[in-house]
Structure 1
Amino acid sequence: MSQDTFKKALSVGRPPNVVQNFPNSEALIVSGKVIDRAMLKKGGAMTIAANGRNIFIIEGALRAAQRANAAIIIEIARSEATYCPTTLWNIARRVDYLCNMLGITVPVAVHADHYFMKKWDDVAVAKAEIPSLFDAGITSIALDASHMTDDLNLLANIEVSPTIPSWSGYETEIGEIKGAFGLSTPVEAKYLCQGLNAHGLCPDWIALNNGTTHGIEASGTGIQVELTAEIHKALTPYGTSGAQHGTSGNDSQRLKEIAARTNTTKANVATALQMISWGVRVNDFGNAIMTEDGLFDKIKGEGVDDALWAEMVAYAVDKKLSGGDYKKLNLPFERRWQGQDARVRQRMAGAVEDFVHHLLVDVFNAADTAPIACELIVKAGSHDLGPKAEAFEDVAEWTVEKIKAQAAAIGTDKGPKGNFDD
């Protein structure tokens, strides 16, 4: 990408909240809309939405994007902010700092993922809190009311939408991520997008329960490509792309098919990046490999210092943390990781860089999407690319009463109840 294109995009492409927070920055932090449109313009491409649970993941992912000349998303989920040093309120600051320190010139969106509303009372909390996230510099958000019934999911999105700037990236969700249980259907996906369209809302992405799981996927069939493609086809008039959750645990071939055969432009990766930053051995699926004693297979001399890893394991044993709950080590240990020798810090970020670069270039087909994103900004002359589809549904058919009646007629299987991870 030419320096001239970058400078032009930098001058107009940063949203007002980013300019206000980082007035002298050279980091091209952009709306999530820009990233989505760049993938669509290239075609058959999706980029990583890297869950920046710790500073080394964010650094490694940004370095990989620069190396691949790819537009990228850095995100953190609302639930992750309770056990990680990266939060919804400091993630933009971390991204901006690293972009300037590393000389990153590719466009980066900062995404608040899985902003969950599990019951209707959570809607009032969301309306009060979400403006503060944008005040802190995020440029994209996922409203996740998938834990509620279809009608309340739709109504929650409508109710909270005024808190989201029109220029921001916007993701919605149907179906909690439950693996093979309660798979999403074209009917319920279209219901949600129809209702949102009637109220003048156009989500950039929709997340589905399409067969995958979060965290360490030890079993299950993984992402169902045909189902995903069928749902995306049904949503074509509404301009909504796919967001793939639970990407860790699916092999490269399946992910290549998702990029090539569906309208997915955003692929969330969390657990694999965390494990790689620590030096834990993973397979092609991104699943951490366990030893015979049931512990993670830490590679000697890679990731965190071996002695510090022993402390992490001892802490986990003492706190009765195992498997996916190792994610709770991020908050108490990041200070210690940052206190390691520079050589160790570099190999932590470097391992993430190599893994993410492989995904962007060899699997997701996202290489060279950075100049596409910048050209879209320059052509628009603005940070705001507008909606992909204008409202065409009749709002009179989507009153509260009719929303509830239509939802009652869907009758889809949501799968078992339970505390499924966000």
Structure 2
Amino acid sequence: MTAQYSADFEKALQVGRPPNIQQLFPNSKALIVSGKVIDRAMLAKGKAIAMAANGRNYFVVRGVLQAAQRANCPVIIEIAKSEGGQKAYCAVNYWNMARIVDALCNELGITVPVAIHADHYGIKGDKDLAAAKVEIPTMFEAGITSIAIDASHLPDDQNLLANLAINPFIPKWAGLETEVGEIKGNQGLSTVDEAKFLIQGLNAYEIFPDWIALNNGTTHGLEASDAGIQVGLTAEIHHALMPYKVNGAQHGTSGNSSERLREIAGKTATTKANVATALQMISWGLEVNDYGNAQLDAAGNFIKVPGEGMSEELWAEMVAYATEKGWKKGDYKNLNLPFENKLLAQPREIRERMAARVEAFAYKMMTEVLNAADTAPLALAAILNANSADVGPKGSLLEDPAYWTKEHILERAKQLAGDKGPSGNFDD
């Protein structure tokens, strides 16, 4: 594909790529940007949400980039710690994702801005916190441009303190997401007070997250019920956070209908929506419904669509492997790592149809559900207006730091009455 490079694109390429990207890819034509840029583009359009695609395999990344180019919208390519950290179940990881994206953008002539997001960087205690101070810099050295610090399973005071402790290791120009409430369906739902506690405490230290993720009723992975996202709760929390200018990151979209996601776009301050399981299943060639959930036959097995996704022979091999391991349907995500090279070793026509199937689904979602079409020029405008890769914070200091010392944080947290519910499945 021969790309057409506009003057605005060329200028954005010069000034809009963060320093780590410039160093890694000095001769690249890929406009890899901070996650902040993507958020600002959605804000500029209004009631628009950027797709944040979990690139569990090469074909998902390729298909989503092609869809974003067609839709003329910026996009976030991400991987979570469980998917692409040190104990990864995917071949795409924190340290090679930027290289894969950069290569594909140059090969395919992708001119829309792309952010490289480290999703769900989990911190479960002091040991994780100490390790994070070593690991997070290596991730930015490898091309990460945005990160989600997820200490959501910890008590509220420890969640805030973990976010404060790790922030010096995150570049100021990078996109920043924080999280309150584990993602675990309708149990332990986030409250206004919990969300305000986290955002106000960060604000007092002049930390202004671009996004906050909530437990607003959704789940990760295969969604068995239609309960899904609670739009009213989400809107209420976002409204309470308006003075702090933080937007929403919606997790677990694969379990929610297009209608509900349109409602999220229209009625809340959400500008980022994570899509993981659906894209994996689609790339493989499985039958999915509007929710992005893989369908099961009468015997409870996934339905492989003939002539779509991977070859029937390779799918049979994957099923046999999972059966031998005793894996249930929710465990099929673990097939990504052992089978990535086998997927890449298929004939070109099969590889292309895998990516094309992802592209078709992602394009429809970007344009008809998330309202993100034609937001790429708005992302370029954010870069050009700043004349920098750092578009700056949205928020400003509102809280008095004197009231947010560690002692104050521990005391304030005692006043929070939220029900955290049972432990969630943190690792998806």
Q: In structure 2, what residue type is equivalent to 1:50?
A: A
Query: SS in structure 2 opposite 1:50?
Result: strand
Query: SS in structure 2 opposite 1:95?
Result: helix
Q: Distance in 1 between matches of 2:425 and 2:260?
A: 27
Which of 119, 122, 128 matches 1:116? 122
Bigger Cα displacement from structure 2, 61-70 vs 382-391: 382-391
Q: Distance in 2 between matches of 1:138 and 1:421?
A: 20
Deviations 1:369-411 (A, max 9, x none): 1111001101110000111011121001001111011111102
Query: SS in structure 1 opposite 2:337?
Result: helix
Aligned to 1:95: 101
Aligned to 2:192: 186
Q: Distance in 2 between matches of 1:188 and 1:368?
A: 35
Which of 294, 298, 312 matches 1:292? 298
Q: In structure 1, what residue type is equivalent to 2:48?
A: A
Q: Distance in 2 between matches of 1:131 and 1:301?
A: 43
Deviations 1:161-188 (A, max 9, x none): 0000000000000000010000001110
Q: Distance in 2 between matches of 1:387 and 1:375?
A: 16
Aligned to 2:167: 161
Deviations 1:61-86 (A, max 9, x none): 00000000001000000110110000
Which of 36, 55, 72 matches 1:52? 55
Aligned to 1:339: 345
Q: In structure 1, what residue type is equivalent to 2:331?
A: D
- The Cα shift of 1:2 comes to 6.5
Query: SS in structure 2 opposite 1:410?
Result: coil
Query: SS in structure 2 opposite 1:48?
Result: strand
- Counterpart contact for 1:175–1:184, Cα < 8 Å: yes
Aligned to 2:136: 130
Q: In structure 1, what residue type is equivalent to 2:301?
A: L
Query: SS in structure 2 opposite 1:49?
Result: strand
- Counterpart contact for 1:71–1:106, Cα < 8 Å: yes
Query: SS in structure 1 opposite 2:121?
Result: strand
- Counterpart contact for 2:182–2:424, Cα < 8 Å: no
1:67 correspondence with 2:67:
no
TM-score by length of 1: 0.99
Which of 154, 171, 177 matches 1:171? 177
- Counterpart contact for 1:181–1:415, Cα < 8 Å: yes
Bigger Cα displacement from structure 2, 103-112 vs 408-417: 408-417
Q: In structure 2, what residue type is equivalent to 1:234?
A: A
Runs of 4+ aligned structure 1 residues displaced above 4 Å come to none
- The Cα shift of 1:417 comes to 2.3
Which of 229, 233, 248 matches 2:235? 229
Aligned to 1:253: 259
Deviations 1:179-215 (A, max 9, x none): 0000001110011000000011000000000000000
- The Cα shift of 1:146 comes to 0.4
- Counterpart contact for 1:360–1:366, Cα < 8 Å: yes
Q: In structure 1, what residue type is equivalent to 2:207?
A: L
- The Cα shift of 1:9 comes to 0.7
The RMSD of aligned alpha carbons is 0.9
Deviations 1:5-28 (A, max 9, x none): 111111100000000011110000
Structure 1 residues 266-345: aligned runs within 5 Å: 266-345=272-351
Aligned to 1:241: 247
- Counterpart contact for 1:177–1:421, Cα < 8 Å: no
Deviations 1:245-301 (A, max 9, x none): 000010001000101110100000000000000000000000100112221001011
Q: Distance in 1 between matches of 2:301 and 2:426?
A: 23
Q: Distance in 2 between matches of 1:149 and 1:128?
A: 24
Query: SS in structure 1 opposite 2:29?
Result: coil
1:411 correspondence with 2:417:
yes
| Structure 1 unmatched runs, 5+ | none
Aligned CA distance change for structure 1 residues 418 and 46 (closer, same or farther; 3 Å): closer
- Counterpart contact for 1:120–1:152, Cα < 8 Å: no
Deviations 1:224-264 (A, max 9, x none): 00100000001111111000000001000100010111010
- Counterpart contact for 2:8–2:380, Cα < 8 Å: yes
1:402 correspondence with 2:408:
yes
Aligned to 2:216: 210
Which of 376, 384, 387 matches 2:390? 384
Aligned CA distance change for structure 1 residues 297 and 87 (closer, same or farther; 3 Å): same
1:367 correspondence with 2:370:
no
Q: In structure 1, what residue type is equivalent to 2:346?
A: Q
How many residues get paired? 422
Deviations 1:104-123 (A, max 9, x none): 00000000000000123211
Q: Distance in 1 between matches of 2:22 and 2:424?
A: 42
Q: Distance in 2 between matches of 1:388 and 1:202?
A: 7
Percent identity between the two aligned chains: 63
Which of 77, 81, 94 matches 1:78? 81
Q: Distance in 2 between matches of 1:193 and 1:121?
A: 24
Q: Distance in 2 between matches of 1:79 and 1:292?
A: 31
Q: Distance in 1 between matches of 2:29 and 2:168?
A: 30
Aligned to 1:17: 20
Q: Distance in 2 between matches of 1:11 and 1:245?
A: 33
Query: SS in structure 2 opposite 1:171?
Result: strand
- The Cα shift of 1:320 comes to 1.2
Deviations 1:302-349 (A, max 9, x none): 100001110000001011112121011110111011111111000000
- The Cα shift of 1:220 comes to 4.5
Q: In structure 2, what residue type is equivalent to 1:256?
A: R
